[in-house]
Amino acid sequence: MTGAAGGIGTSLRKLLPPIYPDLLLSDLNMPADLGRDEKFKAADLADLAQVEAICEGVDGILHFGGHSVEGTWDQIHQSNIIGCYNLFEAARKKGVKRVVFASSNHAVGFYPRHHRIGTDVTPRPDSRYGVSKVFGEAVGALYADKHGLGVTCLRIGNFGEMPLDHRRLSIWLKPEDLVQLYSAASGWTIPISILKFSTAPPTTSVAGGITTAPMTSATARPAAAKIIASMRWPSRPSYRLIPLAISTRAARSAAWSS
């Protein structure tokens, strides 16, 4: 598992051993709370030789490594572009069977909030970070199609124990539910990890035949009720189209030229 010292990696390290009992952790630096029974090997994703070293003798990779928020292009390029390519290339060279890539809702973050989208929409990244996740999905598709690597890309939403507001509630994913997704992940798919709250039992919206039932619905429903109760809902989504504004001089020029 790359990115073992990051936010998601730190949470999942405690939950994954029952599924992956022989788990090798990797990051730039050793986690401060590394357990006595945990195995760790440092690696810089931007260094292909180091990435190949951590892929040696590995069956599968959970790729959480890289820059996890928006940053400068240099930051994103080194960790999420070069680093992502190196990870897939090293996996190919070392005969790794499967890579599970942690993508993000930011790969489609510029769709309006009131639009419900599926897995087949055109990517609309909302940041350089989002662009890097679209890149990762594309590289994963290339290595799956061209080299036969088993690749699963999970577009992770708001990861954590409890969402703070309605927007984050709509894409909330609890650690236990992400573990369930990872245990189900196989082949080449781009599941979008979003919990749906309705009168029906919540499910995790996925693609490629993967279906999971969130294990945390008992806590999800009270959280949803609490957040929704605090919201003031408009009668419908608010949307305005502002036409192109041009200067008076430009308007006169346009009229004169016509």
Residue 2 lies in a domain: no
121: left (phi over 0), alpha (psi -120 to 50) or beta: beta
Q: Choose, from 129, 143, 182, 239, the residue flagged as catalytic.
A: 129
Residue 179: phi and psi, rounded to 5, are -60, -40
Query: For position 188, what pLDDT does the model report?
Result: 42
Poorest-confidence range of 72-81, 172-181, 232-241?
A: 232-241
CA dist 37 to 13, 20, 74, 251, 258, Å? 11, 13, 36, 72, 78
Nearest to 152 by CA among 103, 87, 110: 103
Residue 151 lies in a domain: yes
The domain containing residue 116 runs over which residues? 7-257
Instruction: Verify whether residue 143 is a known catalytic residue.
Output: no
Residue 1 lies in a domain: no
What whole-number percentage of the chain has pLDDT above 70? 67
CA dist 97 to 59, 150, 178, 229, Å? 6, 6, 21, 47
Mean of pLDDT values over 186-202: 38
Residue 132 lies in a domain: yes
- For residue 39, with 0-12 CB atoms within 10 Å meaning exposed, 13-18 middle and 19 or more buried, which class applies? exposed
Residue 121 lies in a domain: yes
Poorest-confidence range of 15-24, 33-42, 217-226?
A: 217-226
Query: For position 184, what pLDDT does the model report?
Result: 66
Higher pLDDT, 198 or 25: 25
CATH of the domain at 57: 3.40.50.720
Beta strand 98-104 with 172-173 is: unpaired
Mean of pLDDT values over 177-202: 49
Poorest-confidence range of 112-116, 210-214, 245-249?
A: 245-249
Residue 66 lies in a domain: yes
Distance, C-alpha 240 to centroid of its chain: 30
Residue 234 lies in a domain: yes
pLDDT tens digit sequence for 219-240: 555 655 565 555 444 444 433 3
The domain tally of the chain equals 1
Record the pTM: 0.73
What distance in Å separates the CA atoms of residue 94 and residue 38, rounded to the nearest whole number?
A: 23
